Structure 1
Amino acid sequence: MTQANEDPHYRIHVEVEAEFLAEQSDADIPRWVYAYHVTIRNDGDMPARLLTRHWVITDGEERVQEVHGEGVIGEQPRLAPGQAFSYSSGAVLETSVGSMHGSYQMLAEDGTCFDATIPPFTLAPPHALH
């Protein structure tokens, strides 16, 4: 899944790939563990720093957990035009299937604050969804 902002100055492209971690998951608990790998790319013409994140995590029973915090993996990366930043993190659900989406709050070098949308993506074991 990908998403890009439409303003040519502040265009941040976010791509996410989810991965089911079977060795850390246990249906009896229930505990379903996922890694997600994010690439954030500045496709605009203005350098910008990622200040904060907001994630909305929804499990298969429509329970919602929201996560707010500074930066990502302890960093607040500055992205020059054309530059990308990649990182991996994880989520734990009580159901086998869920979804995530959210936004990064960005600060452009000219002082403009804007949101970079994290498009919705599915968390599911292989072959769980048809």
Structure 2
Amino acid sequence: MVKLITEGIVVSVETSYLQEYSSPAQNHYVFTYKITIENNGQHTVQLLSRHWFIHDAGYEMKEVDGEGVVGNQPILEPGQKHIYVSGCNLKSALGKMHGYYTMERIVDGQLFDVKIPEFNLIAEFKLN
């Protein structure tokens, strides 16, 4: 697990390779990532959008933007957390992702970016 804190918001990431959905012969590798966003700050915040940098070994880096996370724009009061699982398809068995969430502090409407730590996407057979 990797973890990063920005302005009291803790983002933790755990990854998994899904061998049963992958097809190495066709350069298709499926990964999931579980993200926990924890508000250890003093203010209620809302996650508005996400921005990802996806690095696929040997291929061009992709950038992905979108509203919320898996269809939600969660509001987190101090001490609350939001957990979600999403996925990524790569053309190689090695990759990595990182990015940021744009959040709004509810009390004053202030927008700020929360960094998502860089995490590796590695098919287990590459670890030997």
Do they fold alike, i.e. is TM over 0.5?
A: yes
Matched, 1:94 2:91: yes
1:1-130 equivalences under 5 Å are 1-5=2-6, 10-109=7-106, 110-129=108-127
Shift of 1:129: 3.4
How many percent identity over aligned positions?
41
The separation in 2 between residues aligned to 1:86 and 1:34, in whole angstroms, is: 17
Q: CA offset at residue 52 of structure 1?
A: 0.3
Q: Name structure 2 gaps, 5 residues minimum.
A: none
Work out the CA distance in 2 between the residues paired with 1:32 and 1:23: 10
Moved more, 118-127 or 48-57: 118-127
Measure how far apart 1:89 and its partner are.
Answer: 0.4
Q: TM-score, with normalisation over the residues of structure 1? A: 0.93
Report the number of matched residues: 126
The letter for the 2-side match of 1:12 is I
What SS is found at the alignment partner of 1:104?
strand
Per the alignment, in what secondary structure is the counterpart of residue 98 of structure 1? strand
Shift, 1:128, TM fit: 1.7
Q: CA deviation at 1:62?
A: 4.7
Secondary structure at 1:53 match in 2: strand
* Separation of aligned partners in 1, 2:30 and 2:59: 17
Give the TM-score taking structure 2 as reference length.
0.95
Q: Which amino acid aligns with 1:120?
A: E
Distance, in Å, in 1 between the alignment partners of 2:28 and 2:83 is 26
More helix by share: 2
Task: Provide the C-alpha distance between the structure 2 equivalents of 1:85 and 1:43, rounded to a whole number of angstroms.
Answer: 12
Q: Secondary structure, in 3 states, of the residue corresponding to 2:20?
A: helix
